[in-house]
Structure 1
Amino acid sequence: MPIASEAVQFLGFYVALGAMCCALALIDLRHGIIPDALNLAIAVLGVAQAIVFGNPTDGFEALGEAAAVAVIFLLLRRLYFLLRQAEGLGLGDVKFLAAAATWVGMTGIPTLLLIATLSALAAAGSLQLAGRQMKRQTSMPFGPFLALGLLLTPAFQRWLSLI
């Protein structure tokens, strides 16, 4: 049975995204930053796949959704800081969410965040059970969990039609 050309093309884009997400997760775990170059590469790849599977207008739509997501999360980041006097979401995380929006759209961001937060909570719980003291002030890089969310959300959207 022949494999659909579109599926092979998507798999190529997805493998490249997977490599970038793995690199991003390792860098964030080791250095506590998400490099702008990786965020930009993820965004460019997302726009490219939107154009390949749609048309140039879809690429512009993906960029518009990324801009909207960036503005929303910049405002949420600022609001959290004003209320708590502490940073809750790094700027790299905000840029990553904007780049991720080129892949999953605005409607996929809640699913991505759900996957990221649940996996982060599971990791924090596992660390607590392993004997590491987890307090309110304990910080954990969120990038690896966001990367996991980005890897799973398009798979759900494309192959499982869950969202």
Structure 2
Amino acid sequence: MAVALPFALLCVLCAAIAWIDIRDGIIPDWLNLAIAALGLLRIWTTADLSAAIEAIGEGIVIGLVFWLLRRLYFAYRGIQGLGLGDVKFLAAAGIWVGVVGIPMVLLVATMTALACAGVMQLSGRALTAQTSLSFGPFLAAGLLLTVGLQQTGIGF
């Protein structure tokens, strides 16, 4: 029960993020904060305070790295490639999966986004370098799959 309930709540929060990001093109801060708080609560109840503090540190570092990548991409291309909500989501996801889980979250997110873009292209929708695609739903799928794999002990 201590594992299933937080994961079920994470599923609900990720579904809300996916829906809102598809509909409005934004990931609300309160949802990112709810994911981070739920992750901290899970760690604190299953481990201890020091593990929760470590998870906060990992989340901050992950957020800073992706914020820096966002800034560098904008400086290079002159357009935003990653939304600030996505950066905040990755920081919150880092609390759940740690630094070691973020590559898996990104792999799943990018592969599903690429598959979606391929289906859109094959269905006749014209995609250009300026086409915008909400990345939140794909990040949410990546987080859920990664957390699920970590909870079953598969891989990392």
Q: What's the TM-score, normalizing by structure 2?
A: 0.98
Partner of 2:33: 40
User: Which aligned pairs between 1:50-89 and structure 2 lie closer than 5 A?
Assistant: 50-89=43-82
Q: Is 2:125 aligned against 1:132? A: yes
Q: Is 2:17 aligned against 1:24? A: yes
Which entry has the higher C-alpha Rg, 1 or 2? 1
- Give the residue type in structure 1 aligned to 2:77: R
- Give the residue type in structure 2 aligned to 1:46: G
Q: Which runs of 4+ in 1 moved over 2 A?
A: none
Q: Is 2:123 aligned against 1:123? A: no
> Between Structure 1 and Structure 2, how many residues are aligned?
156
Partner of 2:103: 110
Q: Per-residue deviation at 1:64?
A: 0.4
In the TM superposition, what whole-angstrom CA distance separates every residue of 1:66-117 from its partner, at most 9, and x where no partner exists? 0000110011000001111110000000000000011000110000000000
Gaps (5+ residues) in structure 1?
1-7
Q: 1:10 aligns with which of 3, 25, 37?
A: 3
Gaps (5+ residues) in structure 2?
none
In the TM superposition, what whole-angstrom CA distance separates every residue of 1:36-83 from its partner, at most 9, and x where no partner exists? 000000000001111111101111011000000011001100000111
Q: Per-residue deviation at 1:160?
A: 4.2
Q: Per-residue deviation at 1:12?
A: 0.4
In 1: Cα distance, 2:92 partner to 2:153 partner: 22
Q: Per-residue deviation at 1:162?
A: 1.3
Partner of 1:5: none
In 2: Cα distance, 1:114 partner to 1:151 partner: 13
Aligned to 1:140, the other structure's residue is in SS state coil
In 2: Cα distance, 1:52 partner to 1:160 partner: 19
In 2: Cα distance, 1:158 partner to 1:10 partner: 8
